[in-house]
Amino acid sequence: MAGSNSPNSSVSSPPPPPEQNQPSKHWGVTKSLSHVGPTNVDIHRNRELQKFLLDSGIYESAEESAKRELVLEKLKQIVKVWVKQLTRIKGYSDQMVEDANAAIFTFGSYRLGVHGPGSDIDTLCVGPSYINREEDFFYGLHCILNEIEEVTELQPIPDARVPVMKFKFDGIPIDLLYASVSLLVVPDDFDISNISVLYNIDETTACSLNGCRVADQILKLVPNVENFRTTLQCLKFWAKRRGIYSNVMGFLGGVNWAILVARLCQFYPQANPSMLVYRFFRVYTMWRWPNAVTLCEIEHNALGFTVWDPRINAWDGLHLMPIITPAYPCMNSSYNVSASTLRVMLEQFQFGKNICEDIELNKLKWSALFEPYSFFESYKNFLQVEMIASDLDDLRSWKGWVESRLRQLILKIERDTGEILQCHPNPRDYADSSKQCAHSAFFMGLQRKQGEVVQEGQQFDIRKTVDEFRHQIKSYLYRKPGMEIYVSHVRRKQIPSYAYPEGYKRNRNTKPINEVLQVDKMSTVSVLKRKKIDGPELERSPEKRASVGPKLQDSVLSERICARSSVVEKASMIRPCVFVDGVNKQVDPTILKNVRLASNGRDMKLDRDKEPNATVAMVLKSGEGVGSELVQTNVMSNRLSLTSNA
């Protein structure tokens, strides 16, 4: 399979995989669930899976692999020249200028060896202590890269949680981070896994270094690197097809999937990829979230960095799906997950489990597992978030800003409706090529929470919620004239045609979000009735030039989707708690109900010295496991709509 083992060559090589592993070796924080290896049937099924993945084109060609290595070598030379120039400018001696150096490391999918065609390369530049991120990296190196013909789409993001410079180098997408370590000279053989690299640095620099350190640890903590890589590539491909691959949208990203798969490999050290894929869905549909997934013991070091620990940090106890990184300082890599996105992922895990069971019975082929999720056929009501800008460069930064804040909109809607109105964001963006301006749009499916009693005249009014979101979006520090945003409520039949790549046409009439959606109690299916609400004119900034996009509608950024205050008051009552090592933690009532089902109605007290999910072995053997949220029916047939007029 071309591209499945792309080494980082001279730039930074991952630790060598263990070729032979002793069966007695202990993997992870608990004993393995099974040491059973593949049968002849499993081997045959694995060959079929490998062939399907190869035919699906998830592996890059040898030519593209060679091109990536060449690009990384060029980038390595560029940063070396940049550091030497700055060393001379800052007045250091000729000897210091000669010795000055910077090192390039890779992390993420490329370092793990699971990247595919068109994937970006996550890179980290490690420089000496006298070269800083704010001026030297985001200004000095930015200017150098901007003059290089092969570099395009250069986009610095200095205010991100982990500051990054994004660009394409000869067509290869690059995400470049910078970390200044407490050394005057960075050697070519710099050991980034050594704990000493964290001395005398700040939290932001520690986060920048963490990606490489985490990737190294993951490869060291899995029993069979090749099986890990194939399984991870398979499940990443599946997650993208099912619309749940996006950390920024509140789903799971690359490192999250890598840790989940690595933990599974620890549970089943002798299993081949086809066995691991099935067991992935079986284990994680039974996993009792919010118990954490960890690959090793969480280390507390005297360096004083914040480490994920709900016993110490109350905020950590609110995380719904903690997946903990294995390198110090250990962090929750999935803090973005919300109640709505957790529900969607659990439904998709159940879908995967059902399909894999049929594959095991030879009722279905592997292709059935990777059927694309029919997002627009799964809901009858949507929020449409459109962005426009004067040109593609402006749209790229504007869209990135809006996308990074959509998760906050979901959380606010959940908060303001007492978690009764659920949102399902579609990670994919869509563009209308017929517009003269640069354009992009996101969609979010809407539905009422299952099991809720429909009250007569029930409404969900989220005008203030969207106004708050609008205010946050308008605070973008780098906003330029022409950058505008439109939020609308659309029904399924009003989805614009550009959202259907095959050209499936829909009525494109959309109403502004300034409307009320009412739930009709008299219908067995919830029905949305809409009426026009007058609203104030959208404020225009006098110093900004007129938008090149469509004419703004009255209160187009103001949403009104329904909810009586009594419903919100009822939902905002004090929620039950689970005690995790002495931490009083509020959790979703549905999660608590299922935790109690699994513990025969008793509140659970988790032992700090044992992995919370150590009992999953008994669950898997008995088949009586209960997940964090019950999935009663196949997700493909479980469609609760808010309207009957789709």
> Which member of 245, 328, 373, 379 is catalytic?
245
> Which member of 99, 120, 170, 432 is catalytic?
120
3-state secondary structure of 95: helix
Maximum separation of any 2 CA atoms in the chain, in Å: 84
> Which member of 42, 175, 216, 416 is catalytic?
175
- 309: how many CB neighbours lie within 10 A of its CB? 16
Give the number of C-alpha atoms closer than 13 A to the C-alpha of residue 274, restricted to the C-beta side.
22
- 42: how many CB neighbours lie within 10 A of its CB? 18
CB of 338 closer than 8 Å to CB of 411: yes
Query: Can you tell me which residue has the tokens 């609110």?
Result: 318
The helix, strand and coil proportions of the chain, stated in percent and rounded to the nearest 5, come to 40, 15, 45
**Annotation says 554 is catalytic:** no
CA end-to-end distance (rounded Å), the chain:
44
**Annotation says 245 is catalytic:** yes
CB of 533 closer than 8 Å to CB of 380: no
CB of 97 closer than 8 Å to CB of 88: yes
> Which member of 109, 274, 334, 378 is catalytic?
109
> Which member of 42, 122, 136, 588 is catalytic?
122
**Annotation says 122 is catalytic:** yes
**Annotation says 504 is catalytic:** no
Q: What is the DSSP string of 257-268?
A: HHHHHHHHHHH-
CB of 549 closer than 8 Å to CB of 538: no
**Annotation says 32 is catalytic:** no
> Which member of 76, 166, 220, 236 is catalytic?
236
**CA-angle at 414, arms to 289 and 612, nearest 5°:** 10
3-state secondary structure of 148: coil
**Annotation says 394 is catalytic:** no
Query: Can you tell me which residue has the tokens 């490329």?
Result: 110
CB of 371 closer than 8 Å to CB of 241: yes
Which strands, in side-by-side order, build the sheet including 438-448? 421-425, 438-448, 381-389, 484-491, 511-512
Residues with a known catalytic role:
109, 120, 122, 175, 236, 245
